[in-house]
């Protein structure tokens, strides 16, 4: 069945239905990963590239299996700490997977895995110049966001919390502000999502998508958790489109009282 036009997601030159992106690391097995992706209805998966494994038999088998899933591959530069490393890894991803898409990571702090703002912008500028469709992993900082947009990025991936922490959305105010400031930029919450409810919260804010890895891969049942996240992202998106009622201080009866008879005991 073809999804309604309102449900389609135009991203990076592709028209997709699912707004859930899944990472491919830390799953118990390749078979479990494949089943989790299918259960989630996910259409984009991220892959961390390592130069030293490019010619290894195991790495080649993994990448071949990913291609067989029939999903859009988003190579990423996870673990890179310099602009040169990020550029080299991005070029490798473009060659192997024949895609200009790249999730750009340039890590500045080993403890929080927070992206390095200055090097991130520098790398984004160069990759955009080289014709890449850059998905930069960033914080919720407005100034960095503006620099990335000026560099040519039409997609931003602000974190919800540190990678793998499962803390959810640590700074909802900043995330809402970022969404309001950039209504025409695709925003995908990346990192820190630990539960389907976190994904729902992000989508209800109006975010365009959510990227999840650890919360699915390390779940007791990754396949069921993948399905749960797929449903959560869809639910949150529908709720955003439907329009939630605003919060208020006072109670308001759901049943009108006008015209209701009042009985008085004599």
Query: Hey, is 93 helix, strand or coil?
Result: helix
Q: How many other CB atoms sit within 10 Å of the CB of residue 9?
A: 18
Quote the tokens at residue 207.
Answer: 């975010």
CA 36 and chain centroid, separation: 16
Q: Is 84 a catalytic site residue?
A: no
CA 175 and chain centroid, separation: 13
Residue 26 to residue 241: CA distance in whole angstroms = 34
Buried b (16+ CB within 10 A) or exposed e, 138-168: bbbbeebbebbbebebbbbbbbbbbbbbeeb
Single out the residue of 29, 18, 17 nearest to residue 222, CA to CA.
29
**What residues are paired with 14 via a beta bridge?**
11
Which one of 67, 81, 84, 103 is the catalytic residue?
103
Instruction: Kindly list the distances between the CA atom of residue 22 and the CA atoms of 25, 29, 67, 141, 148, in Å, as whole numbers in the listed order.
Output: 9, 15, 14, 24, 23
Single out the residue of 70, 102, 99, 63 nearest to residue 86, CA to CA.
102
Residue 81 to residue 110: CA distance in whole angstroms = 10
Q: Which residues are designated catalytic?
A: 103
């Amino acid at each position: 069945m073809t999804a309604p036009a309102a449900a389609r997601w135009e991203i990076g030159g592709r028209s997709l239905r699912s707004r859930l992106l899944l990472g491919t690391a830390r799953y118990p097995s390749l078979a479990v990963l494949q089943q989790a992706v299918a259960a989630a209805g996910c259409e984009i998966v991220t892959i961390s590239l390592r130069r030293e494994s490019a010619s290894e038999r195991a790495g080649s088998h993994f990448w071949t299996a990913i291609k067989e899933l029939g999903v859009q591959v988003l190579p990423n530069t996870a673990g890179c700490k310099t602009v040169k490393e990020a550029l080299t890894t991005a070029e490798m991803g473009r060659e192997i997977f024949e895609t200009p898409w790249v999730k750009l990571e340039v890590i500045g702090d080993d403890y929080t895995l927070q992206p390095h703002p200055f090097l991130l912008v520098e790398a984004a500028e160069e990759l955009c110049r080289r014709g890449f469709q850059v998905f930069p992993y960033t914080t919720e900082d407005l100034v960095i966001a503006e620099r990335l947009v000026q560099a040519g990025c039409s997609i931003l991936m602000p974190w919800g919390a540190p990678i793998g922490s499962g803390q959810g959305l640590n700074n909802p105010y900043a995330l809402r502000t970022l969404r309001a400031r950039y209504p025409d930029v695709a925003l995908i919450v990346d990192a820190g999502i630990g539960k389907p409810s976190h994904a729902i919260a992000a989508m209800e804010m109006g975010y365009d998508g959510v990227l999840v890895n650890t919360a699915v891969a390390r779940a007791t049942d990754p396949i069921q958790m993948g399905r749960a996240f797929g449903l959560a992202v869809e639910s949150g998106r529908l709720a955003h489109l439907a329009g939630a009622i605003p919060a208020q201080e006072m109670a308001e009866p759901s049943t009108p009282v006008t015209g209701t008879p009042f009985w008085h005991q004599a």
